[in-house]
Amino acid sequence: MTTILVTGGHGLVGQAIQTISQKFESTDYNFVYISSKDFDLTDLEATRKMFSIYQPEYVIHLAACVGGLYKNMTQKVEMFENNILINYNIVKCSHQYGVRKLVACLSTCIFPDKTTYPIDESMLHLGPPHESNDAYAYAKRMLEVQCRMYREQYGCNFVCVVPTNIYGHHDNFHLEDAHVLPALIHKCFLAKEKNEAFVVRGSGKPLRQFIYSEDLAKLSLCIMFSEEPIDTIILSVPEEDEVSIETVARLIARQFDYEERIVFDSAYSDGQYKKTASNAKLRSILPKFYEFTKIDEGIRETCEWFKASNYDHDIRK
């Protein structure tokens, strides 16, 4: 039986892979989902122990120290060092334990701040990332470099995927540490509950490409099972599906019937205005009939999941 190890297996994308991968569950594949509670991936010996126990043939590496704009700006040392350690350990052990294929997850925030659009895979190292998330971005860049070095020196089949902004069921909805879309869902929920204004930090003008977590899960598995030689590849909705934060906020508010109470607070930083990514490379290997989940449908699904979730843990903090 082939073992597929998924780090960060209980997070947003890991949960989506659990849902999508059910059709692969058979005598041929054994999916193992690892969370931070199982092993400390910043520790090399703990990471080696994990590989020794499960002996995976494939690894989907999703585990990371992540957070929203505030965390990226105020905890730069932790964001850099923890991610460097996690990624170093996973890649090194994947080589040492003879993993047939590693699919490692990056982020479009790693691309240069000053660049031309749309961004493509060749532009990754052509300038510094935006200062608001440079610590996380540089750590993720080093993951791409490390995978490339192992491909070049040892012929390892180590692939880096670069998703745009991910959202969906099982996201982190913490008000300060979450990414923009889940944080806005939580804020709108609380605003309506308290009969207060739904305050969106910033002008609402920045543009983003959002990818639904189940789409990303499907694409990650597609890359993993692909026999085509692939190195680094952007996983994104098309350029024309880029939307403003204001559009996202209004779609969320509509799900709570609270659109008339939106307020945009321009005293807060917008962060990077845009980071439009090309999915031309992805489209070249995808079936022509593949359709991404539309943003209004994905937001509706995510809001419904949030409303139906149990609020007895950290989700309401």
For residue 174, give the nearest of 274, 71, 262, 80 by alpha carbon. Answer: 71
Cα angle: 157, vertex 91, 7; to 5 degrees:
100
Q: Is the CB of residue 202 less than 8 Å from the CB of residue 266?
A: yes
Work out the burial of residue 117: count CB atoms within 10 Å of its CB; fewer than 13 is exposed, 13-18 middle, 19 or more buried: middle
- Are the C-beta atoms of residues 295 and 248 closer than 8 Å to each other? yes
Catalytic amino acids?
Answer: 136
Conformational region of residue 224, where left means phi above 0, alpha means psi within -120 to 50, and beta covers everything else: alpha
The torsion region of residue 202 among left (phi > 0), alpha (psi -120 to 50) and beta comes to left
Separation between Cα atoms, residue 276 and residue 286, nearest integer Å: 20
* Tokens 């192992």 sit on residue: 150
